């Protein structure tokens, strides 16, 4: 006997079919949620699926991760760059107070949970007299239906808590969709995978009943060497036996007469491959939500070497598509076409890595000039310091245009090549100091020693140059030439 006997056992007496189909006053048929019954006999809905720990863990991971991502709003610049914006109404709505009842974390966590379980998330758009969106009130997906109109448009039919239906035009509802087959409504992952989840629920209920029965198979049969007088006598015996061995009498000593023998049904958890099935269901559910198994505490195939890679894959292949779905929906449905705004969820915290990796990343950026020291401090939640906003330029490199004017090293002797490199370094340092002095409007006293060090001159000569420069009008090109002369003069 194997899996077939397991499911036959489930569909027999005492299984979910028996309890789910019991329409007597003691049964639960009329108290079950309205949902599709699966082949395993279980009714599967988004709410009943949460009874499975793996489903709840996956939905919680997706919802909490999405809710914890910082929302950043950028204003595009003409030079291709972008600036962070915090005084926009959308930032106040999404990152501060989406509605009067919820904070941003709770609001996004709930909407992502609706998306993961039902494939759709809805919000009523509430505006003020000027037409500005001031609140996004969530609507439970089970209370929303889409109604197609003859014109080809559609509207939403929403049932409120009192049972009254309210018609809302498309512009009054912000609809976040999951994977959709018609472009109007997202498909529910729970409904698509209800057979798999029904099998998991059936196995879970079977295990609960098995241990409730003192880890013994339920049911059996009685061997009777004789015969009953009539069917009524057989019925009376069966009912008296069940009464003596159920409820408060369960587990008491069984007394049989007239040579009767009791035979247990010999279905064991091993025969039914119960443990193997339960393990497979965890992996199957993780596959459904595209969550790495180790994140829901399934460490059977996890190692120290692959957990980090799986965590990166979770960010790239699971959370990034969800974030893109949110960003595209916000920009398309809540912003005007004329708004030059870009929405982005910041994954920097999920990609931070350990201290050594972050230190190497910052060092590379600062030394190569594409990251300032203050930007690195801000990324580490440290306050910026004065004088650390300017990118550093490596002194052993110059721009390509400047390199074209340098003589070919193959055609000059080593002394001339060294002199050329020295002049290039002096010119590069002079340009940087000239720009800095022009921005400051004067030569700072604290910079004199640094100028002397970078141009390889004595502090006295640098101080004398600074005194002379301060007495004359400051011009960047004149300053550059003056600094080059200072550095090249013996």
Q: Of the residues 264, 279, 299, which one is the last residue of a structural domain? A: 264
What is the average pLDDT across 231-255? 70
- Asked if residue 477 and residue 330 are part of one domain, the reply reads no
Measured over the CA atoms of residue 373, residue 375, residue 376 and residue 381, the dihedral's sign is: positive
- Asked if residue 285 and residue 384 are part of one domain, the reply reads no
Residue 442's closest CA among 462, 472, 419?
472
| Cα-based angle 283, 287, 293 (whole degrees, multiple of 5) | 50
Q: Which of 174-188, 238-252, 342-356, 418-432 bottoms out in mean pLDDT, i.e. has the lowest?
A: 238-252
Q: What is the secondary structure of 134-192 as a DSSP string? A: EEEEEE-GGGEEEEE-TTS-EEEEEE-TTS-EEEEEGGGEEEEE-SBSSSSSBPPHHHH
Q: Is the pLDDT of residue 409 over 70?
A: no
Domain count, the chain: 4
Per residue in 301-340, pLDDT tens?
766 667 778 888 898 899 999 999 999 999 999 988 778 8
- Asked if residue 110 and residue 78 are part of one domain, the reply reads yes
pLDDT of the residue at 322? 95
Q: Is the pLDDT of residue 276 over 90?
A: no
Q: Is residue 38 part of a domain?
A: yes
- Asked if residue 324 and residue 387 are part of one domain, the reply reads no
CA separation for the pair 82, 344 (Å, rounded): 12
For β-strands 82-85 and 120-127, DSSP reports them as: unpaired
| Residue with more model confidence, 334 or 358 | 334
What is the average pLDDT across 90-110? 93
Residue ranges making up the domain that contains 38 = 1-119+189-216+266-349
pLDDT of the residue at 19? 44
Q: Is residue 148 part of a domain?
A: no
pLDDT of the residue at 268? 57
Residue with tokens 């193959």: 410
| Residue with more model confidence, 460 or 273 | 460
Q: Is the pLDDT of residue 412 over 60?
A: no
Residue with tokens 């690195």: 376
Contacts within 8 Å (CB) and 24+ apart, 332-340: 333/174, 333/175, 334/90, 334/125, 334/133, 334/174, 335/90, 340/75, 340/76
- Asked if residue 317 and residue 196 are part of one domain, the reply reads yes
Q: Is the pLDDT of residue 295 over 80?
A: yes
Q: Is residue 125 part of a domain?
A: no
- Asked if residue 202 and residue 332 are part of one domain, the reply reads yes
Residue 41's closest CA among 64, 55, 22?
22
- Name 103's Cβ contacts closer than 8 Å, sequence gap at least 6: 97
- Asked if residue 304 and residue 239 are part of one domain, the reply reads no
Burial of residue 337 (number of CB atoms within 10 Å: 0-12, 13-18, 19+): exposed
Q: Is residue 284 part of a domain?
A: yes
E strand or H helix at 94, and its extent? helix 89-95
Q: Highest-confidence range of 138-147, 375-384, 428-437, by mean pLDDT?
A: 138-147
| Residue with more model confidence, 13 or 466 | 466
């Amino acid at each position: 006997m194997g899996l077939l006997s397991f499911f036959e056992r489930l569909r027999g007496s005492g299984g979910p079919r028996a309890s789910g189909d019991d329409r007597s006053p003691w049964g639960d048929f009329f108290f079950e949620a309205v949902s599709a019954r699966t082949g395993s006999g279980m009714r599967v809905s988004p709410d009943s699926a949460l009874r499975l720990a793996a489903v709840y863990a996956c939905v919680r991971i997706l919802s909490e991760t999405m809710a914890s991502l910082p929302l950043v709003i950028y204003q595009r610049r003409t030079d291709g760059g972008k600036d962070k914006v915090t005084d926009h109404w959308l930032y106040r709505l999404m990152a501060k107070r989406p509605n009067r009842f919820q904070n941003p974390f709770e609001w996004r966590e709930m909407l992502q949970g609706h998306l993961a379980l039902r494939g759709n998330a809805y919000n009523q758009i509430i505006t003020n007299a000027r037409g500005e969106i001031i609140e996004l009130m969530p609507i439970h997906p089970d209370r929303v239906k889409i109604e197609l109109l003859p014109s080809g448009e559609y509207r939403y039919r929403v049932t409120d808590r009192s049972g009254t239906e309210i018609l809302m035009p498309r512009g009054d509802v912000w609809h976040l969709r999951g994977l959709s087959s018609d472009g109007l409504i997202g498909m529910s992952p729970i409904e698509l995978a209800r057979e798999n989840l029904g099998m998991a629920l059936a196995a879970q209920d079977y295990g609960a009943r098995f241990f409730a029965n003192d880890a013994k198979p339920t049911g059996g049969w009685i061997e009777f060497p004789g015969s009953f007088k009539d069917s009524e006598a057989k019925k009376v015996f069966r009912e008296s036996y069940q009464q003596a061995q159920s409820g408060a009498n369960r587990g008491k000593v069984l007394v049989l007469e007239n040579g009767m023998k009791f035979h247990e049904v010999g279905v064991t958890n091993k025969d039914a491959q119960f443990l193997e099935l339960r393990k497979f269901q965890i992996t199957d559910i993780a596959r459904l939500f595209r969550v790495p198994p180790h994140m829901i505490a399934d460490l059977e195939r996890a190692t120290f070497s692959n957990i980090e890679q799986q965590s990166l894959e979770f960010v790239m292949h699971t959370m990034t598509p969800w974030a893109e779905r949110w960003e595209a929906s916000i920009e398309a449905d809540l912003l005007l076409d004329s708004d030059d705004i870009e929405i982005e969820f910041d994954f920097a915290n999920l990609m931070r890595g350990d201290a050594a990796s972050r230190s190497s990343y910052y060092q590379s950026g600062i030394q190569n000039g594409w990251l300032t020291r203050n930007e690195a401090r801000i990324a580490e939640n440290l306050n910026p310091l004065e004088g650390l906003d300017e990118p550093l330029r490596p002194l052993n490199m110059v721009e390509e245009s400047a390199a074209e004017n340098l003589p070919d090293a193959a055609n000059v002797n080593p002394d001339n090549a060294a002199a050329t490199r020295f002049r290039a370094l002096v010119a590069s340092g002079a340009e940087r100091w000239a720009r800095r002095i022009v921005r400051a409007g004067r030569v700072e006293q604290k910079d004199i020693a640094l100028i002397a060090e970078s141009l390889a001159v004595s502090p006295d000569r640098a101080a004398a140059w600074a005194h002379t420069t301060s007495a004359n009008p400051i011009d960047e090109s004149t300053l550059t030439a003056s600094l080059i002369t200072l550095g090249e003069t013996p």
